[in-house]
Amino acid sequence: MTVTITTGLNHLPASKKLKALSKQMSETHLRDLFAEDSKRFDKYSMEAAGLFLDYSKHQINDEVMASLITLAKEAGLDQAREAMFSGEKINYTEQRAVLHTALRSFRDEPVMVDGENVMPLIRDTHVRMKAMTEQVHSGEWKGHTGKSIKHIVNIGIGGSYLGLKTAINAMTPYHVEGIEHHFVANIDPNEITEVLGKIDPETTLFIVASKSFGTLETLQNAQTARAWMLEQGCAEADIRKHFMAISTNLKAIDQFGIAQENTLPLWDWVGGRYSLWSSIGLLISMVVGWENFESMLKGAEEMDKHFRHAPLEENMPVITGLLGVWYQNFMGAESQAVISYDHFLRDLPGHLQQVDMESNGKRTREDGSTVDYHTGSVIWGGTGTNDQHAYHQLLHQGTRLIPIDFIAPATSHNPIGEQHPWLFTNALAQSQAMMQGKTLKEVRDEMTAAGISAEEVERLAPHKVIPGNRPNSMIVPEKVTPEVTGALIAMYEQKVFVQGVIWGLNSFDQWGVELGKILGNTLIEKIRSSEETTDQDSSTNGLIKRFKQFN
């Protein structure tokens, strides 16, 4: 069914005023807004949980922000926020609570799910994660030949991969010496073959992360890793010295050969894309140490406290979420760029694609009706300054409106000469250039002053005009620490929650992902069969035939 899209969010009364304001703001340049208000930066900037947010370079004024806050209140954001933190089953299609926030809570208050306080379960799991981590770091955990562990391979996909990779790379300066980590996520045999070529079977520990212990990619890769260990001389009885698991399927784990004491639990109120805070984060603890993993949790908790208790008008996830709604539903944007000026944050856009697009890439409200407005934004990005030499051209002079988050730490873990000041300056310059651009008059004056002929000025000047008025935020932590890593990821998670509430979506299921899995289980039998496939659509039939020509 085709979705008919209208401008605005007609189910919320404040939408009418925001539509009128969007016409006004589309005819207003950011240059003029700054010229009119010398206090604009002070008014539209804030700090929370170690993050500083400058959102002054957005196409907003006080009236726009007040109307967006009204929109959030009309959508019931206050109540929805408290329902999530309280353990209500806000994932209504699967009848589950949503409690990744409890995983990073150090409060003594109980959090109840189906009459049970889950906090003691979380605390017990933390104790076990810490003990496992210390066993590996101390050399107490040994492989089948008595050697200590040097390589740790995480086998998991989706939330059991993207979030871990993002957090681990963000905390590179905190990595424990002597431990090398590897990821196997894709079912592509090239990936696991490449990893197996880098590791030593005598000193390798595999962590298999799968709630059901039945995820296709994860189970296939785990079985390949197990077979490889046996081929390399590990006895069947010693497999348990090289495998840990994070799962609830104890029977399957036992059959695989993983000792139950080397298995950590995972609960159904932890969504995959939020699972880095859970036992799935064991690899993070192994790589950076338990203390730094715990510091990351505490940084996320600080952002959660801010999100839960700060007024909407002074609330960082609320403001960033509302800005996204403003551009997507009222100003015509379709995507959001996230560009970090820190090499260690290079994987953040990939993780945010799952957090955002898997959460809000939906069209159905709780009552089963189809929306008539755009929902989840297309998330993309990369790192500066590399990307300045790639897609920034489109951002500056292209025809699409693309809001940008620039993330630029004020200090570096590796200060070398003036390299970090230059890095930050580049981020600042891009943010400023996106906002102010360069007018035709400025281009002409610049070219004339350079002695270029009037004829050449007229010919080239239009090509050098930069329209500006490109909305962007600057997020400036002091440095990327474990606490900042936690706060940053949590801020984006809560931003996505805010938008889901306003759009009337369940941000915590993913039925679109499930369909591909179901069809895959059917089609693999067609691939395996020696008979010609004729009962699918003509494209699928033809592509199966093409595959069989070479296999």
Helix (H) or strand (E) holding 432: helix 419-436
Record the tokens describing residue 378, joined without a space: 């297309």
442 is catalytic: no
Buried residues in 466-488 as b, exposed as e (16+ CB within 10 A): bebbbbbbbbbbeebbbbbbbbb
Record the tokens describing residue 205, joined without a space: 């520990």
- Rounded CA-CA distance 56/268 in Å is 40
Give the SS3 label for residue 362: coil
* C-alpha torsion 364→367→372→377, nearest 10: -40
Give the SS3 label for residue 209: strand
- Rounded CA-CA distance 266/230 in Å is 28
The residues, any chain, with a CB within 8 Å of residue 360's CB and separated by 6 or more, are 375, 376, 377, 496, 499, 500, 503, 505, 507
- Order across the sheet with 45-48: list the strands: 45-48, 51-54, 472-475, 404-407, 335-340, 378-383
517 is catalytic: yes
Exactly one of 389, 418, 463, 531 is catalytic; which is it? 389
Helix (H) or strand (E) holding 194: helix 189-196
Query: How do beta strands 112-113 and 116-117 pair?
Result: antiparallel
Record the tokens describing residue 158, joined without a space: 């989706």
- Rounded CA-CA distance 151/161 in Å is 17
389 is catalytic: yes
Exactly one of 358, 362, 374, 483 is catalytic; which is it? 358
Exactly one of 43, 147, 517, 545 is catalytic; which is it? 517
Cis peptide upstream of residue 385 (ω within 30 degrees of 0): yes
Q: Residue 111, Cα to own-chain centre: how many angstroms?
A: 25
Q: What share of the chain is helix, strand, coil (3-state, %, to 5)?
A: 55, 10, 35
User: Catalytic amino acids?
Assistant: 358, 389, 517
